[in-house]
Chain A
Amino acid sequence: MTQETNIISSMAALLRADVPDVDPTHDAAERDRLVEAVLVRRSRSGWQRHKPAMKWIGGMALAAAVVTALLIAWPNAALDYQIQGAALAEGGYVRAENEDAKVTFSEGSEVLIARGSVARIVDVGPHGARVVLETGRAALSITHLSKTEWSIAAGPFVVEVTGTRFTVDWQPAQQQLEVKLEQGSVLVRGPLLADGVSLREGQKLLAELPARRVEIAELSDAPVAQETSAAPQAQKDAAPVQSVVPPAPAERVPWSKRVAAGEFQIVLDEAQARGIESVLASGSLDDLMALSDAARYAARGDLAHRALTAVRSRFAKSDAARTAAFLLGRLAEGGSSAAAIDWYDRYLAEAPGGTFAAEALGRKMLLLRSRAPAQARGVAEQYLKRFPKGAYAQVARDLLGK
């Protein structure tokens, strides 16, 4: 390669590494702005339907206090559902303002959204739906069938169900999750839960992100603390486990707590005051992970990258180091697909059964899809073999023509 083409490739690499980082809150606001603008344009121009047989009203918010909503099955026969007790808004939002809202699905499953709570019906397929609990409580009664694809997300947690009755309570301000399982079984994934925690009938789980504490107990018992790194099988033991979460130092609010409270800039300021290099070189694992989170949310992708790189360098054998590989892939996605894929490959090699394995493989498949279709199809086959019910399964099937 000549010196001149070296110059071009170096400049291109430099630009590619300039990854724009957007605060998730800002991104959500911009998304809402687009949705509203599209609705306004549509209502002004008299949107032309290309499929007159498909009757719908364009997703405008409904004013009635009690509304019955009908779902037309899409040609691939997604479940129908009805909503009682709440208005259905654009984006699948169900806000139970004055009373509990009940969502009844055509295969018999029910989701009861408690008064004052907000949930979203995000994906509805032929075998289930994905519900996002934005805040408050939801009680689910899921019909057990030979093939079910149900999950409920609450903050960073996901509860995967096969046929069960349980409640999920998510308080975003306190970053606290409670799952109470009355019947059946669920698998709860998310922060503090390693590769997922299975609950059996009659158990409840309480996860508190700021305190980095997970408690599992019988529904009738007082809560008992559990180590955050415990394997799922440990729950079958009756003996309580002592909490291993150290108390926060009296003179400093833990950065993880500040991140949970949305105080990202304070974390960055405190890191600056301590000296970024010093924090990266000698800060605790918790501090580095919290710093990387704060930096991502404060649109400081450069600092997030440094913190995650330090985690991988200094705590190479930790779960956090593997998580850092996945997050580095996410950071890289806005800039360099190749770099993102490389990080996802590393995560998958280091944590093949990790919490983010399905997402890493799915995102890799999406990144390859337009650039290297043949390679993407190979990844699609892997994905379907490992995660036949995963969020990207349909994409994989479409890629393979199944």
Chain B
Amino acid sequence: MSSEDELEPLFSVTSQQRTHAPPAEREAVVRALPLSFRDDAALAQAAAEGHPAAAREIWDRHAATVRGLLRRMVGPGELDDLVQETFLRFFDNVSRLREPDKLTSFLIGISVRIAREELRRRRVRRWLTLRPPPLMPEPVTTTDFDAAEALHRLYEILDRLDPDTRLVFVLRYVEEIPASELTEVLGCSLATAKRRVKRATELIEKMALRDPTLMAFIQADRKSGPHLRGEP
């Protein structure tokens, strides 16, 4: 850099100072997001420190995971607000994250809490309106109409469950989180987690067995081999 470009010493500028200081004194100190922030621990630390680019980076990295998880926990429909709430709670609480490299687990835990609250709100609304809300219309993401119908019936079954049972089923079997890790996510003991998994398994199997459309799809699926969405 030339002497003309020599930089003034760094100083901290508050928004008030920035507004009222004459142009020549207005300097902005900007910190880049270096490649090392791709590591979750460094990213969590950056978020806790209020790094200006952390929100964007965390969204790019984890929004798809959070959205997918919320969808499977609460069902298809408008998820934008739930996703936003998940990340906002993350930023509100990230400074309390004791193990920064557990950023993903932290986010999953928040997503579970958000999902539980949403499911409880829906049950209350259902009780007040005396009828179940219809599944929101949305493009299906399966490859054939049989699967689409089966998926619709499956979400209807899940909608009839209490929030905790539904969450346990999704986390244990769909997200494949071992029972030992469910204790952290659900905030309960291992014995309680296993008991909830067992109860959820029995209840959902019983409900599925009574649904001919869902059972027909499952049985056809088992006969034809692993259902991998129509791959060649």
Interface residues of A, Cβ cutoff 8 Å to B: 4, 6-22, 27, 30-31, 33-35, 37-39, 41-43, 47-51, 54-60, 62-72, 74, 76, 78-79, 81-82, 88, 90-92, 104, 106, 121-126, 129, 299-302, 305-306, 309, 312-313, 328, 333-335, 339, 370, 391-395, 398
In contact, B35 and A15 (Cβ under 8 angstroms): no
Chain B's interface: helix, strand, loop or mixed, by majority? helix
Docked complex Cα distance between A104 and B5 (Å): 10
Report the minimum CB–CB distance from B129 to chain A (whole Å): 26
Docked complex Cα distance between A253 and B56 (Å): 37
Chain B contacts with A in 72-96, Cβ cutoff 8 A? 72, 76, 79-80, 83-84, 87-88, 91-92, 95
In the complex, whether B10 has a CB less than 8 A from a CB of chain A is yes
B5-45 vs A, CB cutoff 8 Å, 1 = contact: the mask equals 10110111111001000010011111111111011000000
In contact, B227 and A57 (Cβ under 8 angstroms): no
Q: Report chain A residues within 8 Å CB of B1.
A: 82, 104, 106
In the complex, whether B140 has a CB less than 8 A from a CB of chain A is yes
In contact, A121 and B32 (Cβ under 8 angstroms): yes
In contact, B142 and A7 (Cβ under 8 angstroms): no
In contact, B35 and A34 (Cβ under 8 angstroms): no
In contact, B88 and A38 (Cβ under 8 angstroms): yes
B180-218 vs A, CB cutoff 8 Å, 1 = contact: the mask equals 000000000000000000000100110011000011011
Instruction: State which of A6, A49, A59, A393 has its C-beta within 8 Å of the C-beta of B52.
Output: A59
In the complex, whether B48 has a CB less than 8 A from a CB of chain A is yes
Category for how many chain B residues contact A: 35 or more
Q: Report chain A residues within 8 Å CB of B72.
A: 15-16, 18
Report the minimum CB–CB distance from B200 to chain A (whole Å): 9
In the complex, whether B135 has a CB less than 8 A from a CB of chain A is no
Q: Report chain B residues within 8 Å CB of A37.
A: 84, 88
Instruction: State which of B32, B208, B228 has its C-beta within 8 Å of the C-beta of A11.
Output: B208
Report the minimum CB–CB distance from A16 to chain B (whole Å): 5
Q: Report chain B residues within 8 Å CB of A125.
A: 34-35
A7-B208, A50-B49, A68-B7 given; 12 more Cβ-contact pairs under 8 Å: A7-B209, A9-B173, A35-B56, A48-B50, A70-B8, A71-B29, A72-B29, A74-B32, A78-B34, A126-B34, A306-B230, A334-B64
**Most A CB within 10 A of own CB, among B34, B71, B217, B227:** B34
